[in-house]
Amino acid sequence: MLLTCCVSSIADLLVAKPGRDPKLALDDMPTYVKNELGLHGVNLTTDLLAGAGRQRIERLRERADKAGCACLLLIEQEALPFGAEDPDKAQAAGDRGRRVLQAASLLGCNAAAVSIDAPFANNAATDEETTDRVVDHVRMVLERADKLEINLLVSPRPGLTEDPQRVTDLLKKIGGFRVGTLPDFKSASEAEDPAAYMRRLTPYASVVLATTYEFEEPSEDEQEAGDKPGSLEDLADMLMAAEPAKHSTYDLEPLLEAIGSVGFDGTLAIDYRGGGDGTLGSLQSRDAIEAALEALAE
């Protein structure tokens, strides 16, 4: 799996403070992700591009390619009302979806992600009408995706796309090989069976969001204890053998095992949403995920 970074994880570096410039310019972000975080691609949310014109977006792509840390995914933050009864709202959702795809293309991404604002009434007739509207408007967006050769990923959210079975049924109705899913660990952790949730959605995914929150350092008993280091080499060996910080919000290993069980070998996007320093949180996320993957491989 290719470990990448959701730039929102380190957004604290990109925000200007009163009287101070941001610590990190957006154009320098790919190099930072590659060199400081040891990750191999970036995933952006549309808010980071607010006010950016074509030249600025293309410059970011060039910097990312030069750093060997390409832009892979653009995520629309606002849920789009593809299922709205008001045709103007549904049309506006389609227009926004096409603009997101265009920006993703300029960035060099191979995918863009949207979430669908559509209610689920648990009423067969009503829900069928909503689903039909969603299908019609998403298909029109997919026409642009086909021309740009970009995948459109659906990020599950409350409502029609909350249940993974409904998501997969929706994708089958939409049809086409350029529509897929963007499952995330947070949504899975809230499901009755998190592993089953991931196994259902991951076969349709080219990217999985490895959402993380809080970490706790292992106790001394959990560390691989030994004699005090007698040399710098001994110290380095001890640090390498130390257990990584543990993700305390939910267990990452069953979720990673679930996506591996269905043969997923795509992009695993680290999306740290916890408090404190985003760089530290991203590093802890990377280390915890790598340790879990190594344990599963044994």
Locate 151 and state its tokens.
């995948």
Tens digit of pLDDT for each residue in 189-216?
999 999 999 999 999 999 999 999 999 9
Tens digit of pLDDT for each residue in 50-102?
888 899 999 999 999 999 999 999 999 999 999 999 999 999 999 999 999 99
Q: What is the pTM of this model?
A: 0.91
- The mean per-residue pLDDT over the stretch 225-236 comes to 52
Task: Considering only residues 221 and 51, tell me which one the structure prediction assigns the higher pLDDT.
Answer: 51
Q: Rounded to a whole number, what is the distance in angstroms from the first to the last CA of the chain? A: 16
pLDDT at 22: 87
Residues 6+ apart with CB under 8 A from 5: 33, 37, 39, 41, 42, 43, 269, 270, 282
CA angle 230, 236, 242 (to 5 degrees): 110
pLDDT at 289: 97
pLDDT reading at 4 higher than 70: yes
